Structure 1
C-alpha cells in the first residue's frame, strides 16, 4: 500500500473558458487568439463596467486592445495588451457584479512607446477598391486579387494595383494623396514587373502654398531591385526629403520605364515612415488599427506586452479593461472569461489557492473541507429598562466581517514549511476557493495563532494539521511588509 497522493484522491478537473454565449456583437478580433475586445467611450457602473459593449461612436480609433487567456494549471489569467503611442496603461478587473478591482502590479504598466509605428499611407494595398489611384501617361490601371505577398507569419497581402502600358515606354500609377511632411521620410513598397524595367522608382510633384508647381523629382531604386522585380514581388525603398519652399505634396506616382506595350507594373503594401522601423503593416495587421475608413486611411500599430493576474477569482466570469492618459475617456475591454478551479479533492480534504500580496506567487494548500462555522459579530449595547418587558438595543452601523478557523493539511515537511512561510509575516492572504463553497471571489483573510498538530497515523509520519483562526479583511493595496526570503 502507498500513502502518496493516490490515497487522498487528488485529481485535477476544470480549465479556462469563455462563458457560453458571452460574445457580444461589435467585438474586434485579437490576432492569433480566439477572442475579441471591445472599444468604448461610455463609462458606467453597469455589469462589466460598460453601458454597452461597443460604447458610442467617436472620432478616436482603437489603437489599443486586450486579450484575456485563463491558465487554470497556473491558477492565473494571462493578459496580452497594447496601446499605440501610450507610455502606460492601467489594468482593471471587472467582476460579474460590476465590482472594479485594479490588477495588482498593473496599475501603471509601462509600454514601449518608442516602438509604436504610424504608416502615413492611405489605401496602401487597394484592399477594397482603387480609391485614390490614378492612371498616368501611357497607363491603364486595375485592381488585382489573389496575389500572395508574405510580410511575416501573421501578415500576407493579397491585393495589388496593376498598371498596364498602352504603348511602349513607361508606366505611371498615381497613388492616393497624402499630407506632406516637413521631415525626410522613407517610402517602401512591394513591386513586380512583367519584364525587366530600365528604371523603377517614384515620381513626386512638389507644390507651394499657392498651388504652384515647384518641381517634379524622381527617386529611383537600384538596378538590383529592378532585376528582382522582374522575377516576382520584391521590396523597393527610397528616401524622400521635403523640398524647401514646398508645403503641399502633389501627385506621387509609381514609375517604371523601358517597357513594351502590354507590360505590367504591380504595386502594393506601401509603407511611409520617418524611419522604417519594421516590416510593412496596416490597419489589418496585428496590434494595429485604421485611423479612418478601413482599408483607405493611414494606420497605427502598437507593441504587445504581457501581464498576469495572480488574483483572478475562480469559477466566475470577469472582464479586463485598460485605460490610458494617451486617450482619456476611452477604454479597451476584453470579453468575459472564466478561470475554472483546477483543484483536487479527496476524502475529507480539498485544495484551495493561497496568494501573498507581496509576491506574484500562489501556492496550493489543502484544507479539511470548508470552515465548519463562520461568525459575523454585531456590536450591540443591550439596556434593560425598569418597567418594560423589552430591552433597548443599540447596534453598530453594520455587521462585522467573517470570522472562523481553517485546518490545513500538509502531507510533507516541504508543504508545511511553505505554508508556514506564507503565514509568518502576518500579511493578509487571498484565499481562492471553488465557487461551490460560496465564499467571496476576493476573500482576503488575516490569520491568527497557528496550531500545528502531528498526524497520528504511523505510516504518515510527515503529515501535519495546521489549525489557524482567521478574520476577513479588506484587500490590501500593497503588501503590508516584504515577504522574507
Structure 2
C-alpha cells in the first residue's frame, strides 16, 4: 500500500491518488450506512477537497489499518471515542485543537488493547466476485451464483455433483499450525444427500508428507435440516474444530459431501476459518473485510480478512464549543496516523468541573467572574541619590483567585465535596465565549461552603474555591 505521507489518508487528501492506511472516518448521522468509511480520490484531476465526504467525486472504502470515531455527548460534557487497529498491542490518542499544542487523551495515551484481532483465513468466503480461488475435486464443479437469500452479499458458492456420488471442494484457506482451527459456514443442500458432510483437514509436516486427517462433520440426518431451494434462507452450521497432530506444519481444508444425486447442489456462504476460539459469544460469528472495523489483507473478497475489536475511551477533558480532531497512532505502524473527522462538543451554556480520575464530570454554576491576581517576585531597592531599582523574577506567576460555585441539589453538593476531598487539581471548562480557553486546571486550597439565604432543606449551596491555575496532572506511565 503506497502512502506519500502520514496524512495522506485524511478526508481532504483526495487529489493525492493514494489509499492511506487509516485515514479520516466519517460519522454522518444523515448517512448511518457510511459510518466507519472514509473517502478516497475518484481520480481525474480532482481538487484537494474532492475526495472529502462533501465532494461528491470520491469513492468510499473502509480503513485498511485502523479507524477512530469521535462522537460528542453534551449531556455528560465528553467526547466518546471508539478506536480499532488490527494487531495493535496498544494505541496512543492525541487531541488536536486549533491554537493549542497536541494534548494526550487521558486514558487513551496509552490505551491497552483488550480484545485480540480476529482473522478469517478464508480468501473467498462468499463468492461475491468470483470463485477462482476454490478448487473442485472429482465429480465436482464449483461456481458462484446469484441468490437473493445469500447469507451475506448477493451471491453464494455453489458446489454441484456432475454425477451421482461424492463431491469435494478445496477451501482457499492457508492454515498455519499454531493451535486449533475453527470452521463454520452457511449451508443449503438442494436435496438431502444419503451420505454425510465432512470438514476434512489434511495435515502436512515440514517434509510435505501427509501425517493425519481431521474429519468433523454432519450426518445425513442432520443435513436434512439444512435442505432448501435456491432463494430460500440458509442456515449456519455449528463450529467444526480441527486439531493439529504432533509434527504438523500446515493443512489443506476440504469440504466433502457423500451420497449426492446427479446434478444436486450444495450452496455455501460466509465461510469462516479462524484460529483457536475467540472469547465469549464470538465463536462462529461470521465476519469479513466488509463489516464495520474489518479489513481485507490485500484484495476485497480475494484475500483473508481481519477484525480488530473496538476500544472505548471517554474524553472528559475536551474543550467546549470548538472543533476538535483526534489523532491516533500504534507502535507497530509508526508511519501511519489515523485522524478523526472534526467534532464539536456543545456546552449548552453549561459549566463543568472534572476530576482526572472520575469518569463523569460535574455540572456546576459559577456565580461571577473572579478577581484574579498574577503575583510576581519583586523587590524595589532604594539607591543613594537616584531612582529605586526593581529586581524581579523571570515572569509573573500563574493566575490566583477565588471561584464562587453553586451546586444544584444535595447530590451535586456531595459529589463536589468528594471531588475536592483528595486535593487533586480539577479541570474547569466553560463555554468558549467566556474567554477561559480550552479549560483551566485549578488547584484548590481551603474550601468554604455557605448557604445562600435559604432554609436548611434547600439543596442549593455555594462554595468558595480559592484557586491557583496549574499544569494538568500527569498521565499514567505506559
**For the aligned residues, what is the CA RMSD?**
4.2
* Contact 1:157 1:269 survives alignment (8 Å): no
Of 447-456 and 276-285, deviating more is 447-456
What residue number does 1:367 align with? 366
Q: TM-score, normalised by structure 1?
A: 0.71
Task: After TM superposition, give the deviation of residue 73 of structure 1 in Å.
Answer: 0.9
- How far apart are the structure 2 equivalents of 1:244 and 1:446? 63
Task: After TM superposition, give the deviation of residue 298 of structure 1 in Å.
Answer: 1.8
How do residues 150-299 of structure 1 correspond to structure 2 at under 5 angstroms?
150=151, 156-176=152-172, 178-181=174-177, 183-199=179-195, 200-202=197-199, 220-231=217-228, 233-236=234-237, 237-242=239-244, 247=249, 249-250=251-252, 252-277=253-278, 278=283, 279-299=285-305
What residue number does 1:429 align with? 426
How has the CA–CA distance of structure 1 residues 285 and 452 changed in structure 2, closer, same or farther, with 3 Å as cutoff? closer
What residue number does 1:66 align with? 68
What residue number does 2:20 align with? none
- How far apart are the structure 2 equivalents of 1:265 and 1:443? 66
* Contact 2:177 2:248 survives alignment (8 Å): no
SS in 2 for 1:224: helix
CA offset digits 1:115-150 (Å, max 9, x no partner): 542222212222322241233333333212344355
SS in 2 for 1:176: strand
* Contact 1:135 1:141 survives alignment (8 Å): yes
SS in 1 for 2:361: strand
* Contact 1:165 1:264 survives alignment (8 Å): yes
How do residues 118-157 of structure 1 correspond to structure 2 at under 5 angstroms?
118-150=119-151, 156-157=152-153
How has the CA–CA distance of structure 1 residues 456 and 229 changed in structure 2, closer, same or farther, with 3 Å as cutoff? closer
What residue number does 1:80 align with? 82
How has the CA–CA distance of structure 1 residues 332 and 38 changed in structure 2, closer, same or farther, with 3 Å as cutoff? farther
- How far apart are the structure 1 equivalents of 2:420 and 2:153? 57
How has the CA–CA distance of structure 1 residues 72 and 412 changed in structure 2, closer, same or farther, with 3 Å as cutoff? closer
* Contact 1:63 1:301 survives alignment (8 Å): no
What residue number does 1:440 align with? 437
- How far apart are the structure 2 equivalents of 1:67 and 1:281? 20
How has the CA–CA distance of structure 1 residues 144 and 413 changed in structure 2, closer, same or farther, with 3 Å as cutoff? closer
Of 377-386 and 306-315, deviating more is 377-386
CA offset digits 1:314-338 (Å, max 9, x no partner): 1122233444556555554433222
- How far apart are the structure 1 equivalents of 2:373 and 2:125? 67
- How far apart are the structure 1 equivalents of 2:130 and 2:388? 84
What residue number does 2:323 align with? 317
CA offset digits 1:344-388 (Å, max 9, x no partner): xxxxxxx411122343342222123434x5454455566788898
Unmatched segments (≥5 aa) in structure 2: 1-9, 15-22, 40-51, 53-62
- How far apart are the structure 2 equivalents of 1:465 and 1:274? 60
Of 201-210 and 330-339, deviating more is 201-210
- How far apart are the structure 2 equivalents of 1:319 and 1:405? 33
User: Does residue 301 of the first structure (1) align with residue 301 of the second (2)?
Assistant: no
Higher relative contact order (CA 8 A, sep 6+): 1
SS in 2 for 1:167: coil
- How far apart are the structure 2 equivalents of 1:264 and 1:300? 30
SS in 2 for 1:353: strand
SS in 1 for 2:149: strand
SS in 2 for 1:282: coil
CA offset digits 1:82-129 (Å, max 9, x no partner): 44555544443333346333333444444434x542222212222322
- How far apart are the structure 2 equivalents of 1:181 and 1:358? 44
* Contact 1:358 1:478 survives alignment (8 Å): no
CA offset digits 1:270-309 (Å, max 9, x no partner): 2223434311222223443323323222223233343322
Of 220-229 and 414-423, deviating more is 414-423
Task: After TM superposition, give the deviation of residue 415 of structure 1 in Å.
Answer: 5.3
Unmatched segments (≥5 aa) in structure 1: 1-21, 40-51, 53-60, 151-155, 344-350, 480-485
Q: TM-score, normalised by structure 2?
A: 0.72
- How far apart are the structure 1 equivalents of 2:210 and 2:418? 77
SS in 2 for 1:148: coil
- How far apart are the structure 1 equivalents of 2:186 and 2:413? 63
- How far apart are the structure 1 equivalents of 2:182 and 2:435? 60
